[in-house]
Amino acid sequence: MTSFLLDLIKGSDAPRTVIVMDEDGMGHPRQYQLEPRRLLYIVGVAAGVLALLLVALIVFTPIRTLVLGPDPEELREAARVNVIRAAALEDSLALQNEYLERLRAAIIGDLEETEATESVDTVATPSEIPASEVDAPAAPRSDDWADHEQPALALGRLAADRRAGLSGPATEAYLASLQFPTMPPVEGFFARGFNAARGHYGIDKAVEEGTPVRAIGDGYVIFADWTNDGGYVIAVQHADGYLSVYKHNSRLLKRVGDRVRNREAVALSGNTGEITTGPHLHFELWRNGLAQDPRLYLVDL
């Protein structure tokens, strides 16, 4: 076979005649005209197409992970999301345990004694604090967490009320200032608090999926879209530099540019996005670019 192929490609410009005969020589011989150059061209094109198909199969299908291994960026992102989920689950479990303990104390009638005991036990003297906790504090998960330590900004007005002197349509067009403390966006179980050091710039309230999420005041919708971490997110700009953000919704009821009134439903709560451990609302309150602890601004928490 090797000698045949060598004879075939010698002098590839000249055509070749190939005679095919049966092994016993009894059949009628068959002749074929071949052009070695064209034959080599066809074989090369077929090999190239086959190679491209093989590369596409490896790159664009799950076979890629078997050949090249998992993507390091995907592994890092998965690890980051798992760490945040674990932290959220840890906080939720701690709060649920506290809630169950208080409920048990209320049922058996020793609530006051339990609260007094907790208030005494939670005050630790310097000698009771392990040296490892004093010498090696937990590393913050956010580089700028100190900027959001409470109070990030005082509740007092930073500038005079710009509505002074306005009258007529201008007064109606200007957004009314938020009145604090105000009602929370949803009624539900408090699941996780504000923790700037761990990158949690809001509070979580566990609510049944589909619960109306209400704006905390008059404002304009400046963002209403899907995000990978927060699912369906809507953000409302209020007066005096305040911005309220509502995450993990199942459905958005407003679009960018819509004006909303105080206590008007802007979304329906849900469980969307990568960073979620169950149906809940993640609520953030910002002022002039600094995160605020919503528990200082809301009632019934």
| 23-39: burial string, b at 16+ Cβ within 10 Å, e else | eeeeeeeeeeeeebeee
Residue closest to 225 by CA, chosen among 271, 273, 291: 273
Q: Which long-range contacts (CB under 8 A, 24 or more apart) does 153-157 make?
A: 153/287, 153/288, 153/290, 153/292, 155/180, 155/296, 155/297, 157/240
- First and final C-alpha spacing in the chain: 87
Q: What is the torsional sign of CA 259, 264, 268, 274?
A: positive
The pair of structure tokens assigned to 198 is 């761990």
Asked if residues 271 and 250 have their Cβ atoms less than 8 Å apart, the reply is yes
Distance CA 134, CA 197 (A): 17
Instruction: Please indicate whether residue 248 is annotated as part of the active site.
Output: no
Burial of residue 116, with CB atoms counted within 10 A of its CB: 0-12 exposed, 13-18 middle, 19 or more buried: exposed
Catalytic residue among 200, 248, 280, 282: 280
Distance in angstroms (rounded) separating the CA atoms of residues 148 and 158 = 17
CA distance 189 to 103: 14
Whether 238 and 253 have beta carbons less than 8 Å apart is answered as no
Q: Please choose, from the candidates 252, 267, 169, 167, the residue with its C-alpha nearest in 3D space to the C-alpha of residue 216.
A: 267
Active site residues: 280
